[in-house]
């Protein structure tokens, strides 16, 4: 994988109230191949993402892809075909619980905790804090209500502002303990009389945790009234105000566990989080978001009931069932709100300024802050973009790696001009770097290649980017053969097609202006002034 280094010396800052765009550009340095080691300005702490590499004082390096397949963030959802998933009837659901809490050794509070966390995670997946901050959880007297109490606690720790309505409290220690936990967090408990008739007046999300699959008969007071208030929300059409969304736990309260909303006048939740496995009534769910939660079903249960359940991605506690709702792309927008960015706060040294911004990103805990889009174009002028990882920078430029046989390397051999783009969503900021590129020294490429894990070294030899191969099995076999060849721990030679390019960024931008957001690339609902700053050449 071939290292590419960009070097810059002028900066443009484009600031849109809270969305910031920055361009770095520097006058050219010598076009000769760089041979000296470069001291990076990035943190040398082992906790930093450059930790081990920076001990060698190299510019830093990365593969030509962002390896997101090697891990799954908690907010990644997998969509499953609902027709391929098993659904339980009431008897089967009860039997599953009996086995879990009998011979398999699960306790009620353990299952309740896992279920509540699953529901809270699903809610956080769909409903962002900015628009859906206030959450009312309506809890019944049984296990479904206990799940709701756990949901409220986790939503509090996720940053939401939860409220709980728990009109028929259960005196068992498990439930009183859950109440004590919520009270210790200062979460308000509201009586039915405290609630407005129109729940949308005070709350953005309503968690229906009244009754589960074991409920029989007709709901009695006060739950009949509470269910009716949820039903009434679907007729709520007040101008300029949207109704609260309803998230039901396992079963929409009042529904028949197998036949669903038999009368057609029951709760119509926006979200349903089925637990353990979906119940038959879930086939009648017509809301936008159906999730499965309760990641604890052991193989013996799966085999006994012949369950076909979706796989949970990574460390996720919930998985989406069915297609995600259709979205009008033209209506998607965000209001970018951040602290005011002042011209006098810009460091005249663009690399020190970049370091400050990078420190901000690290402090904010953003994932892979070194991920950046690299755009190249060959002699035909057709642009091509891909994600790579920054592996270091200093006063001469920025470094990353790829393969000589890749399209990006071919483009750069024909046209040395390229651009980088960092997008730091959590800070509403992006940084652009533009200019030309040149190779790093063979010595530096060798040094970095042998600092990589052996598996990565073997992968670089086995994978000849942008070449046609018979199939995936061929690539896997190549890797296995090389793995066996170097199993004795011998030095793995760097392939000839694996090397690097340092480069120099050129170009100057001389302006200071304000642009109306409506005519700029970034369109915002409000706060639409864009500020462009130039840091003088130094």
Residues marked as binding? 143-147, 208, 212-218, 250, 253
Which residues are annotated binding-site positions for K(+)? 144, 208, 253
Q: How far apart are CA 382 and CA 128, in angstroms?
A: 38
Distance (Å, whole) CA 294 – CA 119: 9
Radius of gyration of the chain (CA): 28
- Tokens linked to 484: 């066996």
| Chain centroid offset of residue 201 CA | 31
- C-alpha 378 chain-centroid distance: 33
Which of 45, 97, 12, 435 is closest to 275 using CA atoms? 97
Q: In whole angstroms, how far apart are CA 74 and each of 164, 312, 325?
A: 26, 10, 20
Question: Per residue, what are the HEC states of 18-37?
Answer: CEEEEEEECCCCCCCCECCC
501 half-sphere exposure, CB direction, 13 A CA radius: 25
**Which residue numbers belong to the known binding site for (6S)-NADPHX?**
143-147, 212-218, 250
Kindly report the three-state secondary structure assignment for every residue of 224-242. Answer: HHHHHHHHHHHHCCCCCCC
Three-state secondary structure along 329-381? Answer: HHHCCCCCCCCCCCHHHCCCCHHHHHHHHHHHHHHHCCCCCCEEEEEEECCCC
Q: How many residues does the chain have?
A: 538
Q: CB of 531 within 8 A of CB of 34?
A: no
What secondary structure letter does DSSP report for 426? G
Query: Residue 520: which H helix or E strand, with range?
Result: none
Instruction: Give the Cα separation of 176 and 179 in Å (integer).
Output: 5
Residue 274: partners with Cβ closer than 8 Å, 6 or more residues away:
250, 282, 290, 291, 292, 293, 321
Please give the full DSSP string across 376-411, using - where no structure is assigned.
Answer: EE-TT--EEEEEEE--EEETTEEEEEEETTSHHHHH
How many separate helices (H) and strands (E) can be counted in the chain? Answer: 12, 19
Phi, psi dihedrals of residue 59, rounded to the nearest 5°: -70, -25
- Per-residue tokens: 105: 């050794």
Structure tokens at 78: 């997998």
């Amino acid at each position: 994988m071939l290292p590419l280094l960009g070097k810059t010396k002028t900066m443009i800052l484009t600031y849109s109230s809270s969305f910031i765009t920055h361009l770095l550009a520097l006058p050219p340095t010598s076009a000769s191949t760089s041979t000296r080691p470069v001291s990076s300005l990035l943190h040398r702490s082992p906790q930093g993402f450059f930790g081990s590499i920076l001990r060698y004082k190299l510019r830093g390096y990365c593969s030509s892809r962002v390896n997101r397949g090697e891990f799954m963030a908690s907010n990644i959802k997998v969509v499953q075909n609902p027709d391929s998933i098993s659904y339980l009837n009431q008897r089967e659901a009860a039997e599953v619980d009996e086995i879990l809490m009998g011979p398999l050794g699960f306790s009620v509070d353990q299952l309740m905790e896992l279920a509540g966390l699953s529901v809270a995670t699903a809610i956080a997946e769909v409903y962002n804090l900015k628009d859906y901050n206030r959450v009312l959880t309506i809890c019944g007297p049984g296990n479904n209500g206990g799940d709701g109490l756990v949901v409220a606690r986790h939503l509090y720790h996720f940053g939401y502002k939860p409220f709980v309505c728990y009109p028929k409290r259960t005196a068992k220690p498990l439930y009183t303990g859950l109440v004590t936990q919520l009270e210790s967090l200062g979460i308000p408990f509201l009586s039915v009389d405290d609630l407005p008739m129109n729940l949308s007046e005070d709350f953005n999300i309503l968690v229906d945790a009244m009754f589960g699959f074991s409920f029989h008969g007709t709901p009695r007071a006060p739950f009949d009234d509470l269910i009716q208030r949820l039903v009434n929300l679907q007729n709520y059409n007040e101008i300029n105000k949207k109704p609260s969304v309803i998230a039901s736990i396992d079963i929409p309260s009042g529904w028949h566990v197998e036949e669903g909303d038999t009368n057609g006048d029951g709760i119509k939740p926006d979200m349903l989080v089925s637990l353990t496995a979906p119940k038959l009534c879930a086939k009648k769910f017509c809301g936008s978001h159906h999730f499965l939660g309760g990641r604890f079903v052991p193989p013996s249960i799966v085999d006994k009931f012949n369950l076909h359940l979706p796989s949970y991605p990574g460390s996720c506690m919930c998985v989406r069932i069915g297609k995600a709702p259709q979205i009008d792309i033209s209506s998607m927008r965000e209001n970018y709100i951040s602290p005011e960015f002042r011209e006098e706060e810009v460091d005249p040294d663009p690399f020190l300024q970049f370091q400050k911004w990078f420190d901000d990103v690290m402090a904010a805990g953003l994932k892979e802050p070194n991920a950046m889009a690299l755009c190249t174009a060959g002699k035909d002028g057709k642009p091509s973009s891909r994600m790579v990882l920054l592996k270091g920078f200093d006063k001469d430029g920025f470094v990353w790696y790829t393969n000589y046989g890749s399209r990006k390397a071919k483009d750069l051999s024909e046209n040395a001009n390229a651009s980088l783009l960092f997008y730091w969503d959590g800070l509403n900021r992006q940084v652009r770097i533009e200019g030309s590129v040149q190779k790093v020294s063979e010595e530096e490429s060798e040094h970095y290649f042998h600092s990589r894990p052996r598996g990565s070294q073997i992968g670089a030899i086995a994978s000849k980017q942008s070449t046609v191969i018979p199939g995936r099995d061929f690539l896997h076999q190549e890797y296995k053969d090389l793995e066996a060849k170097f199993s004795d721990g011998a030095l793995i030679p760097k392939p000839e097609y694996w090397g690097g390019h340092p480069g120099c960024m050129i170009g100057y931008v001389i302006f200071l202006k304000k642009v109306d957001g409506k005519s700029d690339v970034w369109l915002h609902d409000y706060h639409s002034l864009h500020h462009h700053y130039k840091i003088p050449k130094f």
